Amino acid sequence: MSINTSNIFDSAAEAYDNTFTHSVIGKAQRKRVYHWLNKVDFFNEKNKIFEINCGTGFDAEQIHNKGLQIVATDGSGKMIEVAKEARSTEIDFFKLQFSEVAKDEKFKQSTILFSNFGGLNCLSKTELKGFTKDIAEVQTKGDLIAWVIMPDQCMMESFYFLLKFKFKKVFRRKQNESLKVNVDGVDVETYYHSPYDLKEVLGDKYRVELTKPVALFLPPSYLESFFKKNKFLLKVLELLEKMFGWISFYSNFGDHYIIIARRL
| Residue-level pLDDT at 2 | 47
Beta strands 48-52 and 69-74: pairing type? parallel
| Residue-level pLDDT at 3 | 55
Of 96, 84, 184, 101, nearest to 135 by C-alpha is 101
Whole-structure pTM value: 0.95
Task: Tell me which CATH code domain 10-151+192-263 carries.
Answer: 3.40.50.150
| Residue-level pLDDT at 235 | 97
| CA pair distance 208, 116, nearest whole angstrom | 17
Give CB contacts under 8 A, 24+ apart, made by 225-234: 227/24, 227/25, 228/23, 228/24, 231/24, 234/24, 234/25, 234/28
C-alpha torsion sign, points 203, 206, 208, 211: negative
Residues of the chain with pLDDT below 70 are 1-7, 185
| Residue-level pLDDT at 1 | 46
3-state SS record for the chain: CCCCCCCCCHHHCCCHHHHHHCCHHHHHHHHHHHHHHHHCCCCCCCCEEEEECCCCCHHHHHHHHCCCEEEEEECCHHHHHHHHHHCCCCCEEEECCHHHHHHCHHHHCCCEEEECCCHHHHCCHHHHHHHHHHHHCCCCCCCEEEEEECCCCCHHHHHHHHHCCCHHHCCHHHHCCEEEEEECCEEEEEECCCHHHHHHHHCCCEEEEEEEEECCCCCCHHHHHHHHHCHHHHHHHHHHHHHHCCCHHHHHHCCEEEEEEEEC
| Residue-level pLDDT at 99 | 94
| Residue-level pLDDT at 9 | 84
Segments making up each domain of the chain, as ranges: 10-151+192-263
171-185 pLDDT per residue, tens: 999 988 889 887 776
Of 44, 40, 25, 43, nearest to 256 by C-alpha is 25
105-147 pLDDT per residue, tens: 999 999 999 999 999 999 999 999 999 999 999 999 999 999 9
Of 146, 193, 132, 142, nearest to 39 by C-alpha is 146
For 9, 37, 80, 193, the CA distances from 40, given in Å and listed in that order, are 31, 6, 28, 22
| Residue-level pLDDT at 100 | 97
| Residue-level pLDDT at 26 | 96
